[in-house]
Amino acid sequence: MLDLLLPQRCVVCGSGGSQLCTECREELQRIEPPLCARCGAPTAWPVERCRECAGRRLGFASARGAVGYDAAARRLVHAWKERGLRRLAAEAAQVVAERLPPPGVDALTFVPADRGRRLERGHNPAERLALELAAIWELPCLQLLERTRGGRQRGSSATERRSVRGAFRATDGAPRKVAVIDDVYTTGATAAAAATALRAAGARRVEAVAFARALRRG
């Protein structure tokens, strides 16, 4: 409803015409190689594991983000998630499809929303992104995961990992190869927990795909 009532202004720069103008869309921070083969973090040279993911047990085989989670991406994600501008899911999906190759999987699924946050927002951004990507990539989108408890993340990286560890279970048998979709990849804790649940349900390979990825400084 808010999509219909609010004037069409770019959520990044405020110019009129569309919710994401062409200039701001093109200027969203690209995540360029070389990258860590496992978690997708930019690195000085190609590596199988980087210092962000080395020593961690990650359920996913690879993780990729389409853009860096900088100030512009934060404004877009905030408008999409918190201001009810749901059509931004289609814009985000187009950016993902333009910047990332389709995953070599049998189906897509998505990170389920915390019940309280879904009630507040009236939608699950990760689900809407997954549905848009499924249409673009011509893949089925399956609701395979449910939360076993809340998962609002606060504080340090270690706290975030603890908050989502064991927070998901698969609701049905998972395809052998599946990609789990989320709006933002921060520490990788959510993607890892979701992937672990999918593998417990029969998936042999899980890939994580996100619209934006937090990038370590320095």
Query: From residue 7, how far is each of 25, 73, 94, 132 by CA, in Å?
Result: 18, 20, 22, 23
CA distance 197 to 202: 9
Q: Which two tokens stand for residue 192?
A: 């890892």
Which band of pLDDT confidence, cut at 50, 70 and 90, is reported for residue 155?
A: very low
Q: Which two tokens stand for residue 153?
A: 């993340």
The candidate with the shortest Cα–Cα distance to 174, out of 150, 194, 192, is: 194
pLDDT at 152: 57
pLDDT at 218: 54
In order of their start, the domains of the chain are 32-67+101-213 (3.40.50)
pLDDT at 119: 78
The candidate with the shortest Cα–Cα distance to 164, out of 134, 140, 185, 138, is: 185
How far is C-alpha 88 from the geometric centre of its chain's CA atoms? 14
72-124: pLDDT as tens digits: 999 999 999 988 899 999 999 999 999 999 999 999 999 998 887 777 888 89
6-44: pLDDT as tens digits: 568 999 999 988 999 999 999 999 999 999 999 999 999
CA distance 161 to 40: 18
Task: Report the side by side order of strands in the sheet with 107-110.
Answer: 62-68, 205-213, 177-185, 107-110
pLDDT at 8: 84
In this structure, are residues 98 and 137 in contact, taking their beta carbons and an 8 Å threshold? no
pTM (whole model) above 0.75: yes
